[in-house]
Amino acid sequence: MEDLYKQEFYSTVNLTMAKKIPGYSGAMRSICFDLANLKRYIKYVEDYAVTKGHTGLGFRIYLGAEVKLGQDGLVAPRQTVFFVPTCRINSPTSFTNENITGIERLDFGWGDIPDSVNSDTGTP
């Protein structure tokens, strides 16, 4: 998956952004989230869902961007992902997952310097 992403999407993004932002060092390929923070967020969503009667909970992960200072010292658009809680909606004719509105989205992750971490490296 990672190699295909780099081949098909990563180089295109980098070429486009390098033309717009002098000194651009490359798009992120990974975003980390603290496990304890994720657990707190899941509990927050579960507690909220109980008050609204929502069931069949899940998360939709959106790609996003925000302008902020990066590790390269530039203030520029930076990639991110954010979690939006979902719930199952059953009707006589369909079954769908809908976003839960009225609740905070989770966007408290951090990214790595481009190309600093591959998905198959780490500690066992």
5-50 pLDDT, tens digit per residue, is: 878 888 888 788 778 777 777 777 788 888 999 999 999 999 999 9
User: What is the tens place of the pLDDT at every residue in 66-120?
Assistant: 888 877 777 878 788 899 999 998 766 667 889 999 899 988 777 665 555 666 6
SS3 percent helix, strand, coil of the chain, rounded to 5, is: 30, 30, 40
Q: Would you list the domain boundaries of the chain?
A: 31-111
